[in-house]
Each structure stands twice: as C-alpha cells, then as structure tokens.
Amino acid sequence: MSGASRMSLSPATTPGAARDPLWLRVLLIAVTLLFLGLFLLLPLVSVFYEALRGGVRLYLASLVDSDALTAVRLTLLTAVIAVPCNLVFGLAAAWALAKFEFRGKAVLITLIDLPFAVSPVVSGLVFVLLFGAGGWFGPWLTAHHLHIIFAVPGIVLATMFVTFPFVARELIPLMQEQGSEEEQAALVLGAGGWSTFWRVTLPNIKWALLYGVILCNARAMGEFGAVSVVSGHIRGRTNTMPLHVEILYNEYNFQAAFAVASLLALLALVTLAAKELVEWRARVDMRSAAGTAAGEEK
Amino acid sequence: MSIEVQHISKTFGAFAALTDVSLVVPDGELVALLGPSGSGKTTLLRIIAGLEEPDPNPDSGILFHGENVARRGVGQRQVGFVFQHYALFRHMSVFENIAFGLRVRPKNTRPSKEAISAKVHELLRLIQLDNVGNRFPSQLSGGQRQRVALARALAIEPRVLLLDEPFGALDARVRQDLRQWLRKLHDEIHVTSVFVTHDQEEALEVADRVVVMNEGRIEQNGTPEEVFHHPATEFVMQFLGHVNLFRGRIESDHAVFGPWALQNSGSAQDGQEARMFVRPYDLDIHTADDGRPAMKATVTRIQAAGPTAKFELLDENTQPIRVEMPHDRFRAMNIAKGDQVFVSLKDSRVYVEDYVI
C-alpha cells in the first residue's frame, strides 16, 4: 500500500519542480547552452571556418592532394576490415556471454572492456612489443618478409583492438535480457542452429547491432593514439586521416590540416545522424509491436 | 504415442535434480507432473523434450511409442513444447509465429505457401483467435499469448505435447477458463500430453493421471482420485490440500493419538512412533460430549466465506487443528469464537515409519 501511495505522489512532485523561479530556469538553460556552444559547437564551426578560409578552391585542392587521398583510402580500408571483424567477434562474444553459462564468464566480460580501460597508446605499444623488429614474433616475421608494424596490417590490428568492445557492449545487456527461450522454442520447432540465428536471434538484436557498428565505425576511422604508435607516419603509405591531420598541422599547413579535419567532422555528423535514425527506427518498431495493447479482451 | 522414461537421473553440479526416475505415460493421456519448486518436474519435462541432457547411464532411455529417442536432438523429436513464459517470437506476427515450425522445414518436406496458410488459419480457429493473425505477441493478453504458444506447438503435428507451467503466469480467472479449455482441447485432439504444475487443484482438475514429485523422485503416480484419497506417502498427503498432523505411538495392537485409538493391522512394534494425517473435512465438531472419543479444543477463528465453513481450533496442548464442515451444519450448530468444543474423527491415514496402516 505504501508503495502505491508513493507512486501516486511522484507525478505530483514533478510539476512542482517546474514551478522553480523563472530566473533559475533561465540561468540553468543559459549555462547549458553556453557550455554546449563553447565546447561543442564552436570547435565544430571553427574547423569548417579554418578549412574554408582560403576559399573553396584551396579547400578542394587540399583534399585531392595525393597524400591526403592515400590517407582517406587507408582510413576507409582500415574501417572496412576492422568493423566487419568486430561485428562478427562482438556478436560471437555477446552470444557466448549472454546465452551460455561457463567457467570464467566474469573474467571474459572484464576482458572485453580492456581496450576501453587501457590508454590507446599502450595498446599500440603492445603490438609493437609483439610484432616489432625486436618483439616476440619480430625475428620470425622478418625471416618470412612479413611487415606488420609500420605497415597496414599493424594499423588494422591496432584499430580492431581499440574498437573491439563497441559491438559486444551494445549486445550483451540486450541479449542477456532477452534470454534464450525464443531460441529454444525455435529449436524445438525443428529449426537448425543457422536458421534459428537468422530468423530469431538476429531480428531481435538488429537495431542494437547496427548501433554498435555505427559507433565502432566512427571510432575506427577516428582512432589516433594506438594507430600513431604502430603506423610510423610514413607519408603516402601508413598515414590515416587523423595522422595526416597531425602532420599537416605540425608543418604549419593549417588550412590543409583543417580541410582534412573537416572530413572527420563530417563523419562525426553523419554518425550522429545515423545513430539518431537507428534509435528512432528501433523506437518505431517497438511502438508498432507494443501497439494497442490496451483494451484487449480479458 | 506413449512416452516412456527409464532410469533418468540429472545432476546440476552437486544438486541432484532427478534421481533414477522412471515413468510411463500411456497413449493419448493428459498427465500432470505435480510438485513443489525444486522437485525436478520441469527438468524431467525438458529432458523428455530434449532441451536437457540426462546424466549418462546405459540403462536410461526416453521412448516415444517404444522407440528410443534419447540420442535424437531436440529438433528431431517432433515434440510440441509450450514454455512457461510462452517464448513467442516477439518480432513476428501471430500468424508467422504459428507458421514458423512449418517454414523452417527442409525444402522437400515443407508444405506449400497455401498449405501453410490453411494450416495456420485452422489452428487460429482452434484456439478461437481467428482475427488476431496480424497482431504481434505484445499486443495480446496473457491468455491469448498462451493459446498462440499452444497453436505454434501444435502446428508441427507433434507426437507428444509438453507444457511447462502452462497457466503459471496468468491471473486466477483466466487460469480457470484456460484450464477447462485445455481439457476440452485435449479431448478433441488426443495427443499424448504432459504438463508441469505446482498447483494441486489444477493437476487434479485437468489431468487423467497425476504424477506427484518431490526432491527429484516420483512419490506417487495415479489418477487424481487415487492420489487425493489414497496418498501413498506423507508427502503426497500433505502436498494435496490442507491436512492436520497428530503424533502418537503404537500400543499393543492399537495406534493411539490422544483420545483416539485405531486398530493396527500392520506389523508395527510396540512403542513405535506413529503419525496420523486427517483432512479438515474428516474431523467433526460437537458442542457437547456425546460419548464418542473426542479431543477438547477451543475455537480461535471461524471463516464462513467460501464453499465450506472453516474453523481454526487449539487443542489442550495448544496444537492448531483445522476443521471444515458444510454451511448448513455450521448454522445448525451455533458455534462462536472462544467456545469449547469436542473434535471427533471421521477418517484418517496413519503412517508408521515406511508403511501405511
């Protein structure tokens, strides 16, 4: 009874909060807007302002510069390899953690967060330690003429490591909440494992999966620290977009640096838009599924 | 299609969920697995379905119509399974849910689109939900979801139907209706069915046979009448309805409980402890001592709502006693709270160690 009365009280107290004095509300909103403007909007605007200061012609010229194009290509290549790999790994990890009980499960959950917990620079150094010329596998790799560090494979590996948790993190709580009863029902009805995955598991997690992929992609394209350590900054060969921006900036070529940076800023905007779209779609899906649940018979 | 369970054990770590359970479910019957939570009833059901593996044992087996299916995977056993929380596919319409089992068949045995549609509509009519095919599970009431889950299980024309706490998640009124509906449905389609429940009333009302389970073993397997009126063990007696327990001992050829002495036909030794169980309606109350052996008691509570009048009494040793009697008798007697009354015995069951007198 006390629980019910407390519940009926809470909506009554919320409108009370809206009766705060006008000056307080104005002040709070102003502080928020000022903060957002100063730390989010202003940098974004300044990136585009600096990029276009020298005129559109110069802006485009900085983008079609061969080193810039290589950096864009390498960034896209890295994302194209790292994101699908992390999609599969993340899905497998989330599946294993959410649907099965086994020894060491807690350790595995912690391990998945490791890339978030460790500084990206340290992650990069780990790969140097493993695959660098003086590293554990260095001599063997040199003997077989394989290049990982200061080459594209190292960049891809470092990016994959840093972006690993995004997909798994999105999926684990959702899959845990959904449990495995629907999968069991599908199996009893004669569906095979593959068919159960495509027809039952995947549709239930598709929005969370897409959301994870979008975040993973944004980070894969924007990663700086870990990639910086393993790339070696070889112009036109191992520079990704963030690294290229840094080099241009260090050479006082601000206009070109901001031009490339504006591409990354655009990517961020596209990512935010895509994320909003996915969230909105997921909500619509949920609402249409929930529909007019009220007023049913019984 | 009969079901035969032979020497099945199942342990989870150190916990023995089932200990050497054997059971036969005759063809076409509706059988209830009844027991408290942790008695192993759901584990047994899941083992029959193939959702759980029994402990390895060369003598164990799961036989459908004499054929051992223990080595078959869950998808190959052709069982209909209704989950406690329905486990409907949330992103599929009711129609797609019911059609699922047919759609996932291999190409050569998959019915045509038209045949699937016809089958689904036939099942929708059977569960009296013809017009909800396009809705999603979240748009249905609990009772409707339960029926959709049943239709989905029936779509694959299962050899046996297994239901895990089929009415567990429903409110009392819907439960009543659905329980009668399930009984009627079973009488129409006659597929051998096993359902798990912890509700004794449900088991007794719906099932042809009731299998009472406790701590991973079968306590009794019989018709509802048998388990209720001739409980094989103390557990069954106590689990099926309210019961009064009286402690006493064997004295020569009688079992003596306070004022009551019962003939001892068994081979119980003198001085051995005995326990007598009496249903509340097998006790009688008088306002005056009429010479019959009776226990003196004080009325502490009278509850006259419901099909019978219920009394709570305290005997001279302040042991609580429950008594039930028809309303007309209660009205004729004029008893009030605090009255001294005499309790006599109409029927009872006495247990001495391992056997029944």
Tens of pLDDT along chain A (298 residues) come to: 333 334 444 444 455 556 778 899 899 999 999 999 999 899 889 989 988 888 888 888 888 888 888 899 999 999 999 999 999 999 999 998 888 888 888 898 888 889 989 999 998 998 888 888 787 888 888 888 888 888 888 999 999 999 999 999 999 999 999 888 999 999 999 998 899 999 999 999 998 999 999 999 999 999 998 998 888 877 778 888 999 999 999 999 888 899 989 999 998 899 889 888 888 888 887 766 655 443 333 3
Residues in chain A closer than 8 A to B96 (CB atoms): none
Tell me how close the Cα of B308 comes to any Cα of chain A, in angstroms. Answer: 29
pLDDT tens track for B286-325: 888 888 888 899 999 999 888 889 999 998 888 899 999 9
Of B75, B81, B90, the CB nearest to A204: B90
**Three-state SS sequence of chain B:** CCEEEEEEEEEECCEEEEEEEEEEECCCCEEEEECCCCCCHHHHHHHHHCCCCCCCCCCCEEEECCEECCCCCHHHCCEEEECCCCCCCCCCCHHHHHHHHHHCCCHHHCCCHHHHHHHHHHHHHHCCCHHHCCCCHHHCCHHHHHHHHHHHHHHCCCCEEEEECCCCCCCHHHHHHHHHHHHHHHHHHCCCEEEEECCHHHHHHHCCEEEEEECCEEEEEECHHHHHHCCCCHHHHHHCCCCEEEEEEEECCEEEECCEEEECCCCCCCCCEEEEEECHHHEEEECCCCCCCCEEEEEEEEECCCCCEEEEEEECCCCEEEEEECHHHHHHHCCCCCCEEEEEECCCEEEECCEEC
Tokens in use for A15? 């409108």
Of B138, B152, B155, the CB nearest to A289: B138
Contact A188 B74 (CB under 8 A): yes
Task: For residue B227, give every residue at least 6 positions away whose Cβ sits within 8 Å of its Cβ, in sequence order, or none.
Answer: B204, B210, B212, B220, B236, B240
Contact B51 A189 (CB under 8 A): no
Q: How far apart are CA B51 and CA B74, in angstroms?
A: 6
Contact B75 A187 (CB under 8 A): yes
B88 in Cβ contact with B128 (< 8 Å): no
Tell me how close the Cα of A164 comes to any Cα of chain B, in angstroms. Answer: 28
Contact B136 A199 (CB under 8 A): no
pLDDT tens track for B142-188: 889 999 999 999 999 999 999 999 888 788 888 888 888 889 989 98
Spell out which chain B residues touch chain A, with contact meaning CB-CB distance below 8 angstroms: 49-51, 73-76, 78-81, 83, 85, 87-91, 100-101, 104-105, 135-144, 152-153, 155-156, 174
Residues in chain A closer than 8 A to B141 (CB atoms): 296-298
A285 in Cβ contact with A208 (< 8 Å): no
Q: Where in chain A does DSSP place strands (E)?
A: none
By C-alpha distance, the chain B residue nearest A184 is B51
By C-alpha distance, the chain A residue nearest B173 is A298
Distances (CA, A) of B237 to B61, B206, B217, B234: 30, 19, 16, 5
User: How would you label B144-172 residue by residue, b for 16+ Cβ within 10 Å and e otherwise?
Assistant: bbbbbbbbbbbbbebbbbbbbbbbeebee
Cα-Cα-Cα-Cα dihedral of A156, A159, A161, A163, to 10°? -140
Residues in chain A closer than 8 A to B51 (CB atoms): 184, 187-188
Q: How far apart are CA A150 and CA A148, in angstroms?
A: 6
